[in-house]
């Protein structure tokens, strides 16, 4: 009977510890939400929350996920910008071979006074 009571107390204490607030927990959740919309603030807040929770010896999974998601989305965004820039430059060089206005040089507006 006494061992059952101790087991129940230990289980209750471990559940309380899992639900207890620790430094960086709320910031980690906020960073996780922000990481989908604003990657740089989400990354910064996730790192801060991760460091705070590590200082007290707790694992902060939302902060770790926020860092991973925001870093991944930042890399994908940079790759998309580089890809679009390369596409636009290649299209611009393709159309640049026709001259200043392409094949429509005959339809330029005449200058005043000429």
99: CB partners within 8 A, 6+ apart: 105
Give the residue with greater pLDDT, 109 vs 31: 31
DSSP designation for 107: G
Locate the domains of the chain by residue range: 2-71
The answer to whether the beta carbons of residues 4 and 33 sit under 8 Å apart is: no
pLDDT, one tens digit per residue, over 52-95 is: 999 988 888 999 999 999 999 999 999 999 999 999 888 877 66
Kindly indicate the confidence band of residue 46, based on its pLDDT and cuts at 50, 70 and 90. Answer: very high
62: CB partners within 8 A, 6+ apart: 25, 28, 29, 31, 32, 49
Give the residue with greater pLDDT, 5 vs 36: 36
């Amino acid at each position: 009977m006494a061992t059952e009571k101790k087991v129940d107390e230990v289980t209750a204490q471990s559940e309380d510890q899992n639900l207890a607030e620790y430094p960086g927990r709320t910031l980690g959740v906020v960073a996780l939400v922000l990481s989908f919309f604003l990657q740089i603030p989400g990354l910064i807040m996730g790192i801060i929350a991760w460091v705070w929770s590590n200082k007290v010896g707790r694992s902060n999974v939302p902060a770790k996920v926020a860092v991973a998601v925001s870093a991944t989305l930042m890399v994908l965004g940079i790759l998309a910008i580089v890809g679009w820039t390369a596409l636009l430059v290649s299209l611009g060089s393709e159309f640049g071979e026709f001259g200043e206005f392409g094949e429509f040089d005959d339809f330029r507006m005449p200058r005043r006074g000429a």
